[in-house]
Chain A
Amino acid sequence: QQQVRQSPQSLTVWEGETAILNCSYENSAFDYFPWYQQFPGEGPALLIAIRSVSDKKEDGGFTIFFNKREKNLSLHIKDSQPGDSATYFCAASGPSGSWQLIFGSGTQLTVMP
């Protein structure tokens, strides 16, 4: 049983559009939710993260919206650029102080010029 689920599996948007990537989780003890970005041939790299005490986190053109009651979150990529084309992983950790990170299966984003 997957503890962290992502949708869609793949997403194509046009340059300038907002891409929306979804994530849901099972374990109520999770309290830290990072998103990682991975380009082909590279390892994942931390993009942005949110803690369960917040409902929104912004960093540049990336925004996480978090709904604790519904156990889901989404990553919005505003004004998408072809360079944002990558695979995005939602992850979860918790309870606080836990050192293990559970990853979702990823969303492959393609931004068309």
Chain B
Amino acid sequence: NAGVIQTPRHKVTGKGQEATLWCEPISGHSAVFWYRQTIVQGLEFLTYFRNQAPIDDSGMPKERFSAQMPNQSHSTLKIQSTQPQDSAVYLCASSSRGAETLYFGSGTRLTVL
């Protein structure tokens, strides 16, 4: 069991560029969660999928952010026209038991210059 795999580990983009972050959940887990972590805001919930269907995206900024889960083996978080305030560590987690146990990946550190 390799755990939740997130790629890339680090990404640097220029202001206005697009960033796509990848997550491979633990095999057999039915839910995938995305969180954003910053020093100021802490761990912010963004969105989650269950059985590949989007269930709750209440934490997603309405513009520029989108998430997909095209198959059970990966999910993507896309940020269009990145801004410096998007700089953060983006964490993906998967679960087979709802909120009881989330298994987090190591995160993608996004830096927008």
Contacts and interface: CB of A to CB of B under 8 A. Distances in A.
Nearest to B101: A46
Interface in B48-81: 48, 50, 55-56
Given A42-B106, A43-B105, A99 B55 contact: yes
A106 B42 contact: yes
A97 B100 CA distance: 9
A101 B101 CA distance: 10
Contact of B31 (A43, A89, A99): A99
Given A43-B93, A105-B42, A100 B99 contact: yes
Nearest to A89: B43
Contacts of A105: 42
A43 B4 contact: yes
Say what secondary structure dominates the interface of chain B. strand
A43 B101 contact: no
B91 interface: yes
B interface bracket (residues with beta carbon within 8 Å of A):
20 to 34
A103 interface: yes
B43 A100 contact: no
A105 B44 CA distance: 9
A77 interface: no
Contacts of B106: 41-43
Interface string B71-113: 0000000000000000000010101001111111111000000
Contact of B99 (A42, A45, A98): A98
10 contacts: A36-B102, A43-B4, A44-B43, A44-B91, A89-B42, A93-B100, A99-B55, A99-B99, A101-B102, A106-B42
Given A45-B104, A49-B100, A101-B102, 8 more contacts: A44-B43, A93-B98, A93-B99, A93-B100, A99-B95, A101-B45, A102-B45, A105-B42
